Structure 1
Amino acid sequence: MGEEDFTGESKPFHSSPEQPTGISNLRQTIEFISSLIPLSHSVRVFAGKWQHIRNKLEELYSGLIAAENFDSGENPSLSGVVLSILATTSECYDLAKRCVDHSYSGKLLMQSDLDVIFAKFDNHVKKLTEIYKKGIWSNGYALVVSKPNLGASKEDMRFYIRDLLSRMKIGDLGMKKQALINLYDVVVEDEKYVKVIVDVGDVVHVLVGFLSSNEVGIQEESAKVVSVIAGFDSYKGILVAAGVIAPLVRVLDCGSEAGKVGAASCLMKLTENSDNAWCISAHGGVTALLRICGEDCKRDLVGFACGVLRNLVGVEEIKRFMVEESVVSTFIRLLRSNEEVILVNSIGFIQTISYGDELVREMVIREGGSRALLSVLEPKLSYSSKTREIAIRAIENLCFSSSTCVSILMSYGFVDQLLYYVRNGEVSMQELALKVAFRLCGTSEEAKKAMGDAGFMADLVKFLNAKSFEVREMAAEALSGMVMVPKNRKRFVQDDHNIALILQLLDPEEGNSGNNKFLISILMSLTNCTSGRKKIVSSSYAKNIEKLAEAEVSSDAKRLVKKLTANRFRSMLSGIWHS
């Protein structure tokens, strides 16, 4: 059997790699380890113990290769450790060969030997770390291990991450920061590295430790990496178990602007299901987030802070604390922001905290929330259509459950704004405005009158011919409600085209469908005025009502025919009586 290289191909091995004469101890040790690592993959027995040994070998390899340009002769401590590593590696090579050949005398003895080798390698790693912490390793001496190409093997990725881990552990500040930058680059480029990071011991703990660093650059870069890891549901628990929340909150309190952005982004991901809400609150995170939202911070930071608070609102006690800390006033001020990211997140928060809570909803309206949302609909302002859609939905959710709130909205000119988007909005905004207008029509008699005065009926009539059945039905139902108001009914009848179109659109084949139902309802209302009855009866399309009634599929059509004929009979009697 032969050992495997990093490509997975077999190659012959021998009891100890041959080295050319004159090679340095450091180079010999590096090559010895590089030969031993692939050989260890050929071992099929004691897999768990060999995995632990291999992890230590990778740590040693990355540490030694980065020190290769350093003259170890000038540092007796380093030279001594290298010789010890070389000796242990030679012992390990012999054990690996015996495991591959199954030439060991007994399993218990081999397990004991492997435990001893692991302990020796672990001790070498600790000694090497102590030496490097004294300052002999710096950017000037560290060789950079090349980043693996896309599609590289898992082993190559692990080796690269272990090299970065060594630099983060024992490099100088410049090297630590560069290692963090490289780490961020690979996790953003290829999400497979996130799993490798979690699998390789100590990386997560080192990153969490760096969040408390006094060096701004180290803190910022580690926050960015941690935020990427937090984006994976499988690893959120690992970060929390490593104690990430407390240092993240400290960064929110006193970190740099960039550090706060990374911390807030990470916390937003960690609180998506509210599991970690209490932990954040316990460390003072809610207060820190509220302070950020109340200050003049950058849009990304405020946006993420809004997102975290929105996630925390689901916990009633935390929500009450926010309300006591004047969160409503803070977010109504943010509703007036020119930054759309802040505006959209603020609208989301206001809706979430108000949902199902009448007291908070009234507070939002009382403190100017509806007025602030209406300003987003102002056509002269340069908000995107998407932002306006979010604002109009928020207005509907906040204000339509109360006739008082609807009256306040209309006094601010909401009906005219709504009509503007029904006529001029992009397709999605136009349909949304129509849906909101339909619902507004059902809120009160006052709303029906205001919509009639604004000229809504003419536009609703146009939607009766829309391709979408839902749009046609909403327009018909809204009109059926509006013409119940006498003033609107008179206005509607004045246009001969209106009645003719409704009669024309009655479809006998659809029977008592929703659309027919509301069209007939409109006609029923119109029979309450003389001119309306006359125009219905005299229209060439009046036969559509009779067809529906004769088909015995629409009871509404039968009632309409009966009402029309009864009114005609009463008119005849009236004429005879006065003759």
Structure 2
Amino acid sequence: MGEEGEAAGVHGQSLQEQSCRELATPNPTRKQAIESVSSLASLSRSIKVFAVKWQLIRSKLMEMSSALAVSDEGAELSGMVQETMVTVGECHGLAEKCMAGSYGGKLLMQSNLDMVLTKLHCHVKNLSGMCKAGFFPQGYAVVVSKPRFGARKEHMRFYVKDLLTRMNIEDDPEIKRQALASLHEVASEDEKFVKVVMEVGEIIHLLVSFLDSLEVEVQEEAARVLSVVAGFDSYRGVVIGAGIVGPLVRILECGSDAGKELSARCLMKLTTDPEIAWRVSAHGGVTALLRICSSSTDFTKAELICSACGVLRNLAGVLEIKRFMLEEGVISVLLRQASSKDETVQISSIEFLQDFVSGDDFLRRMVIEEGGLHALFRLLNPLSSSSSSSKALEVAFRAIEDLCFSSETGVKMLLNHGFAEVLVCFLRARESSVQELAFKAAFKLIRTSSSEDAKRALGDAGFMSEIVRFLDAKSRGVREMAAEALSSMVSIPKNRKRFAQDEQNMEFLMRLLETEVEPSARRKFLLSALMSLTSCGSGRKKIANSGCLKTIENLAENEVPDAKRLVRKLSTNKFRSMLSGIWHA
């Protein structure tokens, strides 16, 4: 269209504006204005052209509706309503032209839309200013009563819409904060409210926009609400589609500590999906999270650091992101946090570290080389760990198992650090739950180590005298583990001699065998232990002279292979006269 056409279009637009003024309802009420604005906002959703412009206009219309809803009737408001209705009529005419495709030229329509948008912004600003000047309805600060649990959906929807209205009020962050806090309260208490939130207008987009608010409290409350919504699998797609990832990462970078924690908590729920993990990484989230984990280890930031570790743990599920973390020094960061004064941070960082190196010998070696064992042993030091919970000790034991038990080099390093002595110390000095942790760690060490070094070291530390107590534990599984561990320990000559020299150990072992009348794993390992002990002179003699010998003979008569082998072993010339002819069978 040429310049003449453009000029004609402008002239036509001025005539339309005049027509709208003439057709405006005389002295329209606030209710009529709200209905007209809402109707136009709804109509704008059907417009396919100039989508960005109409989205901005729709946002301003919603703000205007909210401002009108909380304004008190009066002469000043009446004048503003008149002006508002003129602009709404003008905007309605533009909407119809866009829908019909009869707007003439694109440049002209863009210009007209910009002018309408400016007018709407002025109306919203004036209405908000009037509210701030004291034209709120009486008692406006009191939010509509919260529906009782199990209320009808219409009541819930009305309450959420009222909160939405308050959230849309410009220039009053306290009203927004109160509305957001109320929304978080109901969403946390009843998941039906979350469903209503998803159904009401563009509330999720509004919440996401609040994440970039300059008002810290508004930002934090919005993050708190979105964290609740993100906890529902069926709604995560909507939250992601609203563009939540970028604002959350920006909060991680420069928000308040509370905001960062809420952001990390929200991301922890979202990043279970690898695709979202990529988005977080693309926005610089990995670097921001590592920076948080590198910060102070004081108690005030414990929850923040734990939440950041949780997100990083999810992100590490993507191999390329895991490699980037490695380049950024994630191992040294986690080892530093493993020495934190806060136990929750210790546990969170060690669990993440264990997960990070799982199944990768190269990473295991890297952790050890960077001082991983020293960090873990500080937690296991009997002198300093007296106040550590069983959970913290369990995490430390598991991490050591993963790092060192799979290689002989790792086992030797553990033994050189005095790991055998630490285990025995815990077996002797701590409550039963911790004793069991130490016992299970020792059992795994014995079972996985292919060399005899660990068994010798445990024997020297006094492990066998402690393991006997577990042979008669309440748990069948623990009893069987103890019998298997003892059988393995006495396969070492030095340990056999040490065990056999203790009269009480041998007597207790014999009594246990007498009570084990039915086939079991414990009986099998007890017989195996006795078989090894026959290789020791004192052990062999004690077995042959014990009242348990008859039990062994009976088992041999019942065709128990281990018992028959034991009888044969005992039936040398020296003891032949003491035995029956069962060994000939």
Amino acid at match of 1:131: H
Secondary structure at 1:157 match in 2: helix
Aligned pair 1:432/2:437, yes or no?
Answer: yes
Q: 1:320 aligns with which of 317, 320, 323?
A: 323
Aligned in 2, Cα 1:362/1:523: closer, same or farther, shift over 3 Å? same
Secondary structure at 2:168 match in 1: helix
1:157 aligns with 156
Aligned pair 1:132/2:139, yes or no?
Answer: no
1:561 aligns with 567
TM-fit CA distance, 1:239? 0.8
Tell me the alpha carbon deviations over residues 294-341 of structure 1, each in whole angstroms, 9 at most, x when there is no partner.
122611221111111111111111111111111111111111101122
Tell me the alpha carbon deviations over residues 400-427 of structure 1, each in whole angstroms, 9 at most, x when there is no partner.
1112112212222222222232233333
- Would you say the 8 A contact 1:511–1:548 is kept in 2? no
- Would you say the 8 A contact 1:508–1:544 is kept in 2? no
CA distance in 2, matches of 1:564, 1:417: 38
Amino acid at match of 1:148: K
1:378 aligns with 381
Secondary structure at 1:566 match in 2: coil
Aligned in 2, Cα 1:391/1:62: closer, same or farther, shift over 3 Å? same
- Would you say the 8 A contact 1:25–1:83 is kept in 2? no
CA distance in 2, matches of 1:404, 1:355: 17
CA distance in 2, matches of 1:568, 1:235: 81
Secondary structure at 1:359 match in 2: helix
- Would you say the 8 A contact 1:229–1:235 is kept in 2? yes
- Would you say the 8 A contact 1:26–1:82 is kept in 2? no
Secondary structure at 1:201 match in 2: coil
CA distance in 2, matches of 1:28, 1:202: 22
- Would you say the 8 A contact 1:137–1:172 is kept in 2? no
TM-fit CA distance, 1:360? 0.8
Aligned in 2, Cα 1:397/1:242: closer, same or farther, shift over 3 Å? same
2:102 aligns with none
Secondary structure at 1:540 match in 2: coil
Secondary structure at 2:571 match in 1: helix
1:522 aligns with 529
Q: 1:404 aligns with which of 399, 405, 409?
A: 409
Q: 2:552 aligns with which of 531, 545, 553?
A: 545
Aligned in 2, Cα 1:435/1:245: closer, same or farther, shift over 3 Å? same
Amino acid at match of 1:352: D
Aligned in 2, Cα 1:507/1:314: closer, same or farther, shift over 3 Å? farther
TM-fit CA distance, 1:285? 0.8
Please report the TM-score for the alignment, with normalisation by the length of structure 2: 0.77
CA distance in 2, matches of 1:233, 1:394: 32
Amino acid at match of 2:332: S
TM-fit CA distance, 1:378? 2.4
Q: 1:413 aligns with which of 408, 418, 423?
A: 418
Name structure 2 gaps, 5 residues minimum: 1-26, 37-60, 89-115, 579-585
Aligned pair 1:269/2:269, yes or no?
Answer: yes
CA distance in 1, matches of 2:231, 2:573: 70
Aligned pair 1:395/2:400, yes or no?
Answer: yes
TM-fit CA distance, 1:129? 7.8
Amino acid at match of 2:406: S
Runs of 4+ in structure 1 deviating by more than 6 angstroms, as ranges, are 30-33, 57-62, 82-85, 124-130
- Would you say the 8 A contact 1:376–1:391 is kept in 2? yes
More displaced stretch, 224-233 vs 539-548: 224-233
Name structure 1 gaps, 5 residues minimum: 1-23, 34-56, 86-123, 573-579
Q: What does 1:244-393 correspond to in 2, within 5 Å?
A: 244-296=244-296, 298-379=301-382, 380-381=384-385, 382-393=387-398
Amino acid at match of 2:358: Y
Aligned in 2, Cα 1:540/1:137: closer, same or farther, shift over 3 Å? farther
The percent identity for this pair of structures is 52
- Would you say the 8 A contact 2:63–2:170 is kept in 1? no
- Would you say the 8 A contact 2:29–2:81 is kept in 1? no
Aligned in 2, Cα 1:72/1:319: closer, same or farther, shift over 3 Å? farther
- Would you say the 8 A contact 1:452–1:488 is kept in 2? yes
Q: 1:458 aligns with which of 443, 462, 465?
A: 465
Secondary structure at 1:568 match in 2: coil
Aligned in 2, Cα 1:543/1:498: closer, same or farther, shift over 3 Å? same
CA distance in 2, matches of 1:495, 1:366: 41
CA distance in 1, matches of 2:401, 2:231: 32
CA distance in 2, matches of 1:508, 1:185: 61
Please report the TM-score for the alignment, with normalisation by the length of structure 1: 0.78
Secondary structure at 1:214 match in 2: coil
Aligned in 2, Cα 1:415/1:28: closer, same or farther, shift over 3 Å? same
- Would you say the 8 A contact 1:211–1:223 is kept in 2? yes
2:112 aligns with none
CA distance in 2, matches of 1:542, 1:487: 24
Aligned in 2, Cα 1:126/1:509: closer, same or farther, shift over 3 Å? farther
Secondary structure at 2:572 match in 1: helix
CA distance in 2, matches of 1:513, 1:164: 67
Q: What does 1:196-275 correspond to in 2, within 5 Å?
A: 196-275=196-275
Aligned in 2, Cα 1:404/1:395: closer, same or farther, shift over 3 Å? same
TM-fit CA distance, 1:137? 5.3
